[in-house]
Structures are given as C-alpha cells and as structure tokens.
Structure 1
Amino acid sequence: MAQQPYPPGARLLARPDTAKPCPACGDLLGRGYPDCVTCAERVDSYWKADWAALLDDQGIVEGDPEERELAGRVVADDPGAHPWTCVDWALRLMTCPACRAELATGDPGCLSCAGADQTRWAWDDAGMPVSMTRNEHDLRVAVACLRAADRRRDTIVAYSRLSLPFLLTGDSASRAQAQRIRTHLLASRRDELAAADSFAAMASLPDLPWRDRR
C-alpha cells in the first residue's frame, strides 16, 4: 500500500463504460444499494479492493481479530494516512459505542456517529483535486448517504440513489445539472428522472407547464 500522504482510492478496478440494469433488481446497477446484494457487491468492490490491499500489506487475514484492530487504527489515524476507501471500510467494520449501529450510520441523534461521519470528510478537503477527483468525491458522498439514509433528507437520498449508476461510470453532474435534478425531485418527478440514461438527460427534462415562465 502506498505510503505517500493521501494515497488515492477506488482506482484498482476498472469502471464500467455505461450504466446497465442490475441482473438482480432490474434497476440501473447501483440504485438498489445497499439492499440489493448484486448492487452492493458491485459498488463495494471498489472499496473492498483497496481494503484487501491494505490487509495484504499488513499481513492480516480477512475475518481475523486483527482486522478489526486495524480498522480502529485506520479510523484513528490522521486524515491522509490511508486511501479514503479504506477509511470508509474501516468505519463499516466498527460498531458505534453509543447506538451499536455501524459507525457513522446510526440514529440521527447519535453524536458518536455524527462525529465519525464528519471527521472522514477531512480527507476530501485536503485530497482534492490531485488524490481525489470530483467523481470520486461524489461517489463517496452518494454511498455514505445511502448507507445512512436515516441521517439525510429524503431528497438527498433520492438524488444519491439516482446518481450512483452514473457515478460508477466515472461521470459527475455539473453544479447546474445537480441543481436542476434536485428541483425535479422536489417537483415529484422521480419516475421521469429514473428513466433518463445520464446526468445530462436527467437535467434536461422539460419544465412542467406550470413552471414555464415564458
């Protein structure tokens, strides 16, 4: 595992060229995350590849008690000591001492989960744009949101779910596209958005007649 500050993450496996339907749930691959096993396996493979590399570097076997000890060290280390994917995976292996949920995903009122979730984002602040691309940041945000949906607003969860298949391909929405997609969500147009095949297509939905100000 690379030892330079802010080693990048989610780059060991190739990304798909296009968003395709999941053979299990039928939605675009990723939208069933984390409940659909197939969607979860495909999405998590980018995190798991980096974690497996770290285990190999440390001479630790997956599932051994030393793996959880390593997770605790990774979470406690300074930001930038490990790939962001390894930080996220370590959080998944840890149980919140307060609410007993997966750390950083618990009840909205759990301060321990809130603190763990907030701390992880220091990586992005310092790692972008060299060690982390805009797409990688957006992918991380979307997955973290869907793993802790109860901690986010419904529109943010819906936006993350709609976005994930396209983020997996390496695409990202521009700020203007993201704002327009969120506006469509507020207008209860999720089904129309779900039928689109890209960020650009979602953002290009025509205005509803009552919103047309011409």
Structure 2
Amino acid sequence: MAAIAAEADRAWERTLAEWGAAPGTPAERDLAALVADAPDRFEWRVVDAALDLLACPDCGAPLGSGERGCGPCDLADGNRYAAREVDRPAVAPRNEHAVRVAWTVARHPHRYGPRAVCGMELSLPEVYAGRMPTTAQAQAYRRLIDGLTDAQVESVASLDELLRLAARR
C-alpha cells in the first residue's frame, strides 16, 4: 500500500509540475477538479491523488471515498475507472487494472463487502509484484474466502494463511 501511495504522490507531483501548479494553492485545487471531471485524460494514480484532494460536497469525505449512497462519492468512485491504465514494464497485460481495483478496495473497505475486501487485500501484494492469478486460481481463492468465518475474514493476512485455514476445515 505504501509503495502505491508513494507512486500516486509522485504522479501528482509530476502533474502539478506539468500544469504549472504549486502544492497547496488554489491552482492545485482547480487542477484536482479538472482531473476529477475528466479522468479519461489522466493516469489512474493521478486521478486517485486528485480525488484525495477534493472534499465531497455532500459528506465531506475525500471525493469518491464516502459511504455508499453518497451521490457525488458514488459518481466519482465509478468515474475513477475511466482513467488510463498503463501496464508497468515486465508485468502481464491488464495487471495495472488488477492493481488499481485491489488498491481502491483496500483503501476504501467500507464501500465493499468484507469478503471482497479480504480477497483484494490478499491479492494486492501478488498483483503488484506482477503476478496475475489465473481465472481458476482467483475462483479457488474466492471459494476459500467464502468458507471462512467472519472473524477469519477480518484477520487472515496472507494467501498462505488462507490456504492453511482452508486445509484445517
């Protein structure tokens, strides 16, 4: 999580420099609003950084991160997926999408079900490292997560631990 957050920060710093906006100024806030309004023009880390700088006009949370049912947050959260996804070198095609989805769910767990959050949190280190599960592997992990108790869903910390828990059943 920290590595991806640092990448988002660096992407935002580059975008500020490209647009001639200084951090903490009205120009930065205007740029963040522009990015939020046209996410398809920017890389996803830039969009996420911009959303973090904007407060939702309804709930006050960073835009796109409020509780489900908050209109502006729901819209911004959905629109974030229009942003550009450029796969990193030496990773499987569509890996960047997997990283983005897992990152978003892990950052805003209150917007998703606990089992989805568990799966995304467990898979994030693997997909960030460039390893994509096959469809069969992902479905198998999902079945294993579905077999966990609620307490286990909240506490399982790795795919290895998930496999150990499943073997005990």
In the TM superposition, residue 192 of structure 1 has moved relative to its aligned partner by 6.9
Contact 1:104-1:148 within 8 A present in 2 as well: no
State whether structure 2 residue 29 is matched by structure 1 residue 68.
yes
Q: Distance in 2 between matches of 1:192 and 1:74?
A: 36
Q: Distance in 2 between matches of 1:206 and 1:146?
A: 21
In the TM superposition, residue 156 of structure 1 has moved relative to its aligned partner by 0.7
In the TM superposition, residue 170 of structure 1 has moved relative to its aligned partner by 1.8
Quickly say closer, same or farther: Cα 1:171–1:76, change in 2 above 3 A: same
Q: Distance in 2 between matches of 1:169 and 1:78?
A: 25
Q: Which runs of 5+ in 1 are unaligned?
A: 1-29, 31-39
Question: Secondary structure of 1:160's partner?
Answer: helix
Q: Which residue of 2 aligns with 1:174?
A: 134
Of residues 60, 83, 86, the one that matches 2:43 is 83
Question: Secondary structure of 1:109's partner?
Answer: coil
Question: Secondary structure of 2:95's partner?
Answer: helix
Q: Distance in 1 between matches of 2:140 and 2:52?
A: 33
Which amino acid is the alignment partner of residue 36 of structure 2? V
Q: Distance in 1 between matches of 2:35 and 2:160?
A: 39
Q: Distance in 2 between matches of 1:149 and 1:168?
A: 18
More helix by share: 2
Q: Deviations over 1:28-50 (max 9, x none)?
A: xx4xxxxxxxxx3x221111221
Q: Distance in 1 between matches of 2:127 and 2:77?
A: 21
- Higher relative contact order (Cα pairs below 8 Å, separated by 6+ residues): 1
Q: What TM-score results when the alignment is normalised by the length of structure 2?
A: 0.81
Quickly say closer, same or farther: Cα 1:64–1:194, change in 2 above 3 A: same
> Could you say what the CA RMSD is over the residues aligned between the two structures, in angstroms?
2.8
Q: What TM-score results when the alignment is normalised by the length of structure 1?
A: 0.66
Of residues 68, 73, 93, the one that matches 1:113 is 73
Of residues 151, 158, 161, the one that matches 1:194 is 158
Q: Deviations over 1:63-119 (max 9, x none)?
A: 22211111001111261x111211111111111111111111101121211111111
Question: Secondary structure of 1:60's partner?
Answer: coil
Q: Which residue of 1 aligns with 2:63?
A: 103
State whether structure 2 residue 20 is matched by structure 1 residue 59.
yes
Contact 2:87-2:96 within 8 A present in 1 as well: no
Q: Percent identity at matched positions?
A: 31
Which amino acid is the alignment partner of residue 31 of structure 2? L
Quickly say closer, same or farther: Cα 1:68–1:134, change in 2 above 3 A: same
In the TM superposition, residue 207 of structure 1 has moved relative to its aligned partner by 6.3
Displacement over 3 Å in runs of 4+: 127-130, 189-193, 204-210
Which amino acid is the alignment partner of residue 10 of structure 2? A
Question: Secondary structure of 2:83's partner?
Answer: helix
Contact 2:39-2:83 within 8 A present in 1 as well: no
Question: Secondary structure of 2:160's partner?
Answer: coil
